[in-house]
Amino acid sequence: AQKITQTQPGMFVQEKEAVTLDCTYDTSDQSYGLFWYKQPSSGEMIFLIYQGSYDEQNATEGRYSLNFQKARKSANLVISASQLGDSAMYFCAMREGLSNDYKLSFGAGTTVTVRA
């Protein structure tokens, strides 16, 4: 079964508007971490934001915020005030448990195109 599901293959957003990228996850662990990465056309994966399963507050990093709904097992990324430079592919990822392997499971990604 897929551990991370991103149901939106592609999205268009108008410059200066907010956009929400969906991510649902599947785990039986109580302790886990959720990550969002951005991949511009250059190819490099850029870390954006992290949410731990025990964190009570939703994570925020500048224009990025994570809408964490534990009971629904969702961790949606919200980008506020979109900029042309936000056009990229976005990946949701999860690290399960406290094992030493530190593996991440990734979703299929969502391509965001910001229109001027």
- Interface map 44-83 toward other proteins (x if CB under 8 A): xxxx--x-x--x----------------------------
- Decide: residue 49, CB within 10 A, 0-12 exposed, 13-18 middle, 19+ buried: buried
Stretch that binds other proteins, among 16-24, 67-75, 77-85, 96-104 (CB under 8 A): 96-104
Alpha helices in the chain (DSSP H): none
Strands (E) across 40-80 are located at 46-52, 60-61, 64-69, 74-79
For position 107 contacting other proteins by CB under 8 A, the verdict is yes
For position 41 contacting other proteins by CB under 8 A, the verdict is no
Closest CB 13 distance from other proteins, rounded Å: 21
Considering the complex, state which of residue 15 and residue 62 has its C-beta at the smaller distance from other proteins: 62
Among 33, 76, 82, 88, binds other proteins (CB under 8 A): 33
For position 38 contacting other proteins by CB under 8 A, the verdict is no
For position 1 contacting other proteins by CB under 8 A, the verdict is no
Q: Facing residues of 107 across strands?
A: none
The first and second tokens of residue 22, run together, are 């969906």
Contact 59/49 with Cβ under 8 angstroms?
yes
